[in-house]
Structure 1
Amino acid sequence: MSGLTVFLDGKPVTLAELPLKGGGQAAVFPVVGDDGIVVKLYRDPPGPEQERRLTRMLTMSPLAARPTNAFQPPELAWPTALARGARGEFLGYAMRRFGEPAHIQLIGLFTRAQRRKLFPERADWRFLLGVAWNLAFMTARMHHDNLVIGDFSSSNVVVDANGFVTFLDCDSIAFTDPATGELFPCLMHTTDYSPPERQAGGPASRATDDFALAVLVYQLLTAGNHPFGGVPHDSASESTVKDNIAASCSYVVRPERVVIPRGTVDPSVLPPDLLTLARAAFGPGVLAPAARPPAEAWLRALNKERSQVRICAIRPLHAYGSHLTSCPWCTRVATTGHDVFNGPAPLPLPDPPPMEEERPEGRLSPALKVALLVALVVALAVAAKHLGGG
């Protein structure tokens, strides 16, 4: 069914009645008759500053200098046109469409069911390592181009079947207009990926991006575990991820402080260099932005591990770091019964009953054996009576 008609560069397009996704700030609609683009409409009338931001973004081409092949999608879903109403009022903007089944949200890689549904026979640990590398590369490139992601989370990034990533919601990116020098800050953030200074109302920065990147890389390499999950032992009430970040309480750094959620993957699955970076980010780096490893450090460490991944000889979807002497995922299956990467193991069939041995001709049947044994006992008893009486 058709919905609102908007104008992109003066050309009318009709939006589908139902959005693809929606949040508190805006909703994203497909365009009727054009599967290549979507239009993001703001729920509340956007002010002139947002219109100016989008207008300036249309003059920029970030990350355009990076050579890519024909199979790689753009790393940014950058605005392509302003969306206006019939009276010329600013409503939102258009961008290239990145949706299922070709692209899925990064959060879809955090559960086995979604991994198997969307990337059957492919989404092993080696694949997740490659996605983490692409995410770190994109972050480093954006910082090189003086862009700050700001609202960096598992819901704002999509990934394709080759592991390439694309950042959505580019209208929230913080940047300085290269032509005018005007700073456009990022006003949005996602609490589960925000360091304490961001939660307290501070501005987005490269350091806040570096914190979110560390959390996302850790989640990818542990098949979805958040490094600030669990409840501190000294907590009087249910603790949230946001609370644990604010309290600098991560089981990756101080496991003795936290009641770790059941089923959590042990941090030791991370190769040593990556685990060192994680402990720096989730330890001193929580409260000290300068102590957080930058995107380039993650990129170097991830790149080193990509060529050293081991493949389990028993289960092909069990890939793991070269620092381990045995497959951690097989060990997990043996101890918990849960396989992080393969589907649920089929229930073992009951042992078949032993086949009855064929009786050669002339062999006595069990029933006949019992009858003869009874007769023999009776005969012996009679004989004994006669012998006693003689």
Structure 2
Amino acid sequence: MALTAVSGDGREWRLTRRIGSGSEGVVYGVDDPRPLVAKLVPAPPDPAAYRRRIARLVRQRREPRTVRLLSGTPQRVAWPMAGIRAGGPGPDGVDGYLMTDMRHAHQPLTHLLTPAARRAFLPGATWATALTAAASLARLLADLHSEGYVVGDLKPDNLWVDGHGGVGIADVDSWQFRDGGEMFPGRMGTPGYTAPERIGAPAGTAPDDASDDFVLAVLVHQLLMHGLHPFAGHPGDGGAYLSYDDNVLHGRCRLLDRTAVVLPRSAPPADLLPRRLLALFRAAFGGHRPTAADWAGALTEECAPGRLRTCRADPRHVHTVERPWCPWCDLAERGREARPAAPDRPPDAATDTAARTAATPHDRKENTAWRS
């Protein structure tokens, strides 16, 4: 049965089918000629505070800093357009907001990380597309930080990408921001996408730009390394794999110490990365984090003409000019023989393809090479 939601000015909106859900909310289609969706949050910790948060974000939509973020086509941010309430004004009602439907111009970022989804939904994508997406994500985060916003729960599930590598973001209601004299703290975090200082921290510990910057480095690594999480792998000392977060806390990262973790031969080699980016990753995971602006500048330079090479054997394989031979052909020859580590989440929710995707013999070569 369709739901009816009412905005603060009394306008009614007919919500259609359920599109998806996350840790807090449920997203529905909206019966409207514009590309809109509605997010409903059934049980926020403090309903009154959540309504106030949404009202402030809606108001900020008209502020110069937000107008700058929302300029351009396609829109990069699914900003709250209006607060709504479904199910009536009583205790059974559910609060939420309307926002742009990112599916209108984008696809889930996970489609760029997963080989099967990439072939199905982004058949023209190459490593150059991933590099462009990484640069676009870094620019977006740098722009958000410059305007005083902290994402706090940066992860593949709230990111979107178009066929050209342009990146957008949703779930603005969980961000940390200031409105006048009031601070609205970040409220969420996701295993595998949390800076070390926030792992195990007391509830309510606020994120900051630096914690976003750590997760940005994780996501850039996944984009450029065929979905491989930088802290994937079984401990090199023979201990049991527990989680990405456990590896983060113990500094188990191949880029910091190649003996720290055990990965299968099918994992992309670290030397497929340009030296400039490799240095940024080591700084990010070693305690001296580059900012989002630092990443944006370096990644943009790596996208420049002359910095990429097309494989002679397969024109669909693209790699850095610093690599003398094609890493994707190497991986295709090796096949996919094992998973680097058990995923932190169920397979249908995880995004680390190397940790969760088991290729069939038919798919082994395709799953280890960028294909268009």
Which TM class, normalised by the smaller chain length? 0.7 to 0.9
Q: Distance in 2 between matches of 1:262 and 1:47?
A: 50
The C-alpha deviation readout for 1:42-94, integer Å capped at 9, x for no partner, is: 1216511111111111111344226955xx32221000001124338661111
1:342 positional shift: 2.4
1:237 positional shift: 2.6
Residue 190 of structure 2 is matched in structure 1 by 190
The C-alpha deviation readout for 1:85-144, integer Å capped at 9, x for no partner, is: 4338661111111127x4221122112111111111x21011110000100000100010
- CA gap 1:332/1:92 in 2 versus in 1, 3 angstroms: same
- CA gap 1:253/1:134 in 2 versus in 1, 3 angstroms: same
1:238 positional shift: 3.0
1:196 positional shift: 1.7
Residue 237 of structure 2 is matched in structure 1 by 234
Q: Distance in 1 between matches of 2:319 and 2:66?
A: 32
1:222 maps to a residue whose letter is M
Q: Does residue 342 of structure 2 align to residue 340 of structure 1?
A: no
- CA gap 1:316/1:67 in 2 versus in 1, 3 angstroms: farther
Residue 43 of structure 1 is matched in structure 2 by 42
Tell me the secondary structure at the aligned position of residue 20 of structure 1.
Answer: strand
Q: Is the 8 A contact 1:51 1:90 kept in 2?
A: no
Q: Is the 8 A contact 1:79 1:94 kept in 2?
A: yes
Residue 320 of structure 2 is matched in structure 1 by 321
Q: Is the 8 A contact 1:230 1:239 kept in 2?
A: no
Q: Is the 8 A contact 2:6 2:85 kept in 1?
A: yes
**60-69 or 154-163: bigger deviation:** 60-69
Residue 176 of structure 1 is matched in structure 2 by 178
Tell me the secondary structure at the aligned position of residue 14 of structure 1.
Answer: strand
Q: Distance in 1 between matches of 2:139 and 2:149?
A: 13
Residues 60-99 of structure 1 mapped to structure 2, 5 A cutoff: 60-61=60-61, 62-65=65-68, 69=72, 72-85=73-86, 86-87=88-89, 91-99=95-103
Q: Distance in 2 between matches of 1:341 and 1:176?
A: 42
Tell me the secondary structure at the aligned position of residue 279 of structure 1.
Answer: helix
- CA gap 1:233/1:248 in 2 versus in 1, 3 angstroms: same
TM-score where L is the length of structure 1: 0.80
Residue 344 of structure 2 is matched in structure 1 by none
Q: Distance in 1 between matches of 2:70 and 2:33?
A: 27
2:101 maps to a residue whose letter is R
Tell me the secondary structure at the aligned position of residue 83 of structure 2.
Answer: strand
Q: Does residue 302 of structure 2 align to residue 273 of structure 1?
A: no
Name the structure, 1 or 2, with higher relative contact order (CA <8 Å, separation 6+). 2
Residue 252 of structure 1 is matched in structure 2 by 255
Percent same amino acid among aligned pairs? 35
RMSD value, Cα? 2.0
- CA gap 1:91/1:109 in 2 versus in 1, 3 angstroms: same
Q: Distance in 2 between matches of 1:309 and 1:297?
A: 20
TM-score where L is the length of structure 2: 0.83
Query: Where does structure 2 lack aligned partners over 5 or more consecutive residues?
Result: 336-363
Query: Where does structure 1 lack aligned partners over 5 or more consecutive residues?
Result: 286-290, 344-390
Residue 211 of structure 1 is matched in structure 2 by 214
Q: Distance in 1 between matches of 2:144 and 2:66?
A: 7
Residues 113-192 of structure 1 mapped to structure 2, 5 A cutoff: 113-120=116-123, 122-177=124-179, 180-192=180-192
Residues 48-59 of structure 1 mapped to structure 2, 5 A cutoff: 48-59=48-59
Tell me the secondary structure at the aligned position of residue 193 of structure 1.
Answer: coil
The C-alpha deviation readout for 1:276-301, integer Å capped at 9, x for no partner, is: 0011112x22xxxxx11111111111
The C-alpha deviation readout for 1:154-176, integer Å capped at 9, x for no partner, is: 11101112221111100001001
1:74 maps to a residue whose letter is Q
Rg larger for: 1
1:293 to 290, 296, 303: 290
Tell me the secondary structure at the aligned position of residue 79 of structure 1.
Answer: coil
1:29 positional shift: 0.6
Tell me the secondary structure at the aligned position of residue 65 of structure 1.
Answer: helix
1:239 positional shift: 2.3
2:102 maps to a residue whose letter is F
1:34 positional shift: 4.3
2:106 to 69, 81, 103: 103
1:335 positional shift: 3.8
1:261 positional shift: 3.8
1:233 positional shift: 2.6
Q: List 4+ stretches of structure 1 deviating above 4 A.
A: 66-69
Q: Is the 8 A contact 1:195 1:246 kept in 2?
A: no
Q: Distance in 2 between matches of 1:220 and 1:293?
A: 17
Q: Distance in 1 between matches of 2:101 and 2:312?
A: 40
1:268 positional shift: 0.9
Q: Distance in 2 between matches of 1:327 and 1:233?
A: 28
**196-205 or 153-162: bigger deviation:** 196-205
Q: Is the 8 A contact 2:255 2:282 kept in 1?
A: yes
1:314 positional shift: 2.1
